[in-house]
Structure 1
């Protein structure tokens, strides 16, 4: 993995943050503070108004984004405590008018439910406290634009970010061939109550060629008993009634087995984990951020899981649809469930991409 460090590279390195918003060479850390010139004078964006969209990156290519880092407070008041769901991250490649990435900020980094999680995977790393990183390669031919929209009720006091990227002399230096470039996409969806015997749709409407590289699932269970018998299905190219690829269950798809269970003090508990390509980093039935005199911190069980198809990408040449069944099991056997399901699909494809479904408003994205 370090072989590229031993020879001359066909690119130059750049970075954008509030200290150098245009990524210009020799112009970082110029802002002055009470400590003097060039002493941490502009570490973040401040007081982003409700309804405002800020442009974080506006880069002429060809180039490739290699690393993105964010951190922000989870709440502005006790009543307004879903900042990570209320900020919307969007990315546009090569002059697009519709984004290739549209996702609540926290969910993009596997921090669903408006809450932080600790994730130690390859492409997504979220560390204490809310240090959210991604390493998905994001190439572009001519231009890249990244924005964040504040759909929160209050101003965002401080938004910290850094975008690291490369600039190439030409597209061939970036890809090896001018027409061999797949761009990065990510899409958030939610169904607050799934319908019996109707698979939840993680992704559809994909036309073109590319490969599917990951799933993040933010599941709130609304029924009792075991929830994870549903199979992930990948309908590839000409598939109609039945998919080409199907998992054997939900916990199986995320790399676990037997309900993630272990025995502890005479009772069964689920085990969370985080690995390079798959994980179950978040489980909670309590939310201390919302405790007050008016309500307690009990929530329906919430589970965050991810699976990265990096060594095993799902390749498609014409189209792709991804779904997951809502099936549980109990003493009576398997049964159709109704739960609250949200997800992020991550994939690469050639452009143009199909239109995304309308993103639900902030109130409709609020976790239970």
Structure 2
């Protein structure tokens, strides 16, 4: 197996050109790669644990700032990556210079040899794309660029026979698409549009070893493989039901673990694989227990565990219990955490829990194993957590944070980021932590094989959104708010888009924030499989690593998107305190939340707001979202004041979480002087016996 990999300089840019060495023998002993087989890979976690055969290399074409050519050089952290008007185009090559209207044609991606598109993403992209497979005269896709990067199958009539409602929440995930597009000989993608307009994009490709048989994509594949596609999307939508282990061999554990004590949860001998691992931890301080109870999984008597992580962080939920459902990991509302990554071993496996905290914890676990032959393709699963506390994030002193630096052979299969972001700006525009790009060097790369356009883009969302969401391969199960303040957790699993490495991998994510933020904490895991002999840069976990960083006291700051604002603590401007109380926690501005207990629909809570200068103003209300709340509406000076999106009300009820969100109301022309803002209670779900409304602060912004 071999590739011819070289760099070609085009228009002053280094372009990664990858072509299979020719002539090459056809790999006739292997079944061909098809649209159907790629869909099957999307849920085949057992096959993911074996080094790919036929082998492939994963690369990414993206709108990263193409001035970032020299690693560590002057433009290494340049950030003009798709907003429009970049100093140089964010493409491989200019095919046709812009006309009088600014419309030009650009080469977005080009590959020779067998391969497949395995992931697409965009935050927004104007213009059109033309996708040519195998040099055909008729394009495989020609149309709107935004449609292609988000929903490439939707235009094909054959897609209508699929379970498309489910498809759009499994294969299409947030701002990304994992709809595979294989090609036998070549791929060429061009973009026609105005480079002065927004054009963010990622296009991720597998490049197979020479001689690999690939059947190129055709819209008819959606009909040919309809049964397979529907089976795959069903498994992705409900892995508990449709990816249930078929092995009956299992071990259960339920014991108390004292401080400093280590206990063996399960031990196995022989060539086998862990198929599913579930753990539930209980303790007086559960959040702390999930951080200070360390899970270690040691395969084949290695001196250091291949898995070493706080148990909550390992399952992608930290800090605390933040329920979500994804393909390889799930966290249930009762705190049960499930891992479905398959973990092969040749001779032995030992799973241990160690209590590194000061309180006793109780742990229950269930481990399901199945026989699996150890071969020259088998790999150990590895997940080694690391944390950096008291970092200073910055938009000037940007730094590359390592997720994994490893030498040897394996496949990278996932990332998690766990942050404590103390920035006091109450809006994403200002307190955003993730402007930084992922940079993945594979094997002998001089420039990254994968160069991204922002941390949220890597995690398949965009525009520094604080939304809570989860899909089979990506999610944001925690984001306290307002904006991106407080504790934030992101995950992404590389299943179809795994990143194989033959001799090593260096995976970095830039730490690049909107403003200078001292005291930021950033923990992370680079999940991967590794053949025996892989060495990485992991260091054993210290007591300081395993603490949950405390949120500092804070007050909202009038910077970023919150500029030109005046803030009022809700408890200080309420017109009366009947039916209210104060809740103390560092999550709230000033450490206090005003909690109002309405008793019936249309109960009213009023606040006096002083406007010092007449003009157009926008009122924002920062409120708690919990499972004890419901819907509210607003009035200003006795007249209805709708939210900025013209909705009739705002629903503050959310399950299994406590969030702080700032809601913008419709801008108004206001006179100088006192104004009365009224919150009207509009009811809660029947399950809420004693409803409450949390109001943190109210702010008035000049427009």
SS at match of 1:220: strand
Indicate the residue corresponding to 2:553 in structure 1: none
TM-score w.r.t. the length of structure 2 is 0.40
Residues 13, 167 of structure 1: 8 Å contact kept:
no
* Aligned: 1:111 with 2:317: yes
After TM superposition, the structure 1 = structure 2 runs for residues 48-59 of structure 1, keeping only pairs within 5 Å, are 48-59=257-268
Secondary structure in structure 2 of the residue aligned to 1:311:
coil
Shift of the alpha carbon at 1:81? Answer: 4.9
8 Å CA contact retained: 1:86, 1:362: no
1:209 is the counterpart of 2:409: yes
Superposition pairs of residues 241-280 of structure 1, within 5 angstroms? 242-260=447-465, 270-280=466-476
Q: Extract unaligned runs of 5+ from structure 2.
A: 1-39, 47-245, 551-703
Q: Is 1:343 aligned with 2:343? A: no
Distance 1:364 1:81 in 2: 12
Instruction: Provide the aligned length of Structure 1 versus Structure 2.
Output: 296
Distance 2:445 2:517 in 1: 25
Q: Distance in 1 between matches of 2:506 and 2:391?
A: 18
- Deviation track 1:172-207 (CA, whole Å, cap 9, x = no partner) reads xxx5xx322111000111111335322111111x11
Q: CA offsets, 1:230-258, max 9 Å, x none?
A: 10111111135x42211110110110012
Name the CA distance, whole Å, in 2 between partners of 1:66 and 1:319. 27
Q: Please, which runs of 5 or more residues in structure 1 have no aligned partner?
A: 5-10, 19-43, 261-269, 287-298, 330-334
- What aligned pairs does 1:1-368 form with structure 2 within 5 A after superposition? 13-18=248-253, 44-45=254-255, 47-73=256-282, 75-77=283-285, 81-113=287-319, 115-156=320-361, 158-168=362-372, 171=373, 178-195=375-392, 196-204=397-405, 206-223=406-423, 224=425, 225=430, 226-240=432-446, 242-260=447-465, 270-285=466-481, 301-329=486-514, 339-354=520-535, 356-361=538-543, 364-368=546-550
Q: Is the 8 A contact 1:210 1:317 kept in 2?
A: yes
CA contact (8 A) 2:438 2:509 kept: yes
In the alignment, which residue of structure 2 is the partner of 1:265? none
Q: After the TM superposition, which segments of 4 or more aligned residues of structure 1 sit over 6 Å from their partners?
A: 1-4
| Distance across 2 between alignment mates of 1:353 and 1:53 | 27
Deviations 1:82-114 (A, max 9, x none): 00001000111111111101000000011212x
Please give the per-residue CA displacement for 1:24-61, whole angstroms capped at 9, x wherever unaligned. xxxxxxxxxxxxxxxxxxxx21x311111101111012
Deviation at 1:166, TM superposition (A): 0.7
Q: Structure 1 residue 285: deviation in Å?
A: 4.8
Q: 1:99 to 1:363 in 2, by over 3 A?
A: closer
Q: Residue 36 of structure 1 aligns with which residue? A: none
Structure 2 equivalent of residue 32 of structure 1: none
- Report the counterpart of residue 289 of structure 1 in structure 2: none
Q: Which has the higher contact order (CA 8 A, sep 6+)?
A: 1
Q: Provide closer, same or farther for how the CA distance between residues 365 and 235 of structure 1 changes in structure 2, counting only shifts above 3 A.
A: farther
> Paired residue for 1:28?
none
Normalising by structure 1, we get a TM-score of: 0.75
Q: Is the 8 A contact 2:274 2:370 kept in 1?
A: yes
Q: How far apart in 2 are the matches of 1:362 and 1:285?
A: 25
Q: CA, structure 1 residues 222+328, in 2 after alignment: closer, same or farther (shift >3 Å)? A: same
CA RMSD of aligned residues (A): 2.4
Distance 1:311 1:252, change over 3 A: same
Deviations 1:279-316 (A, max 9, x none): 11111259xxxxxxxxxxxx951111100010100111
Q: Secondary structure at the match of 2:439?
A: strand
Separation in 2 of the partners of 1:97 and 1:164?
Answer: 24
Q: Check whether the contact 1:151–1:362 (CA below 8 A) recurs between aligned residues.
A: no
Distance 2:347 2:542 in 1: 30
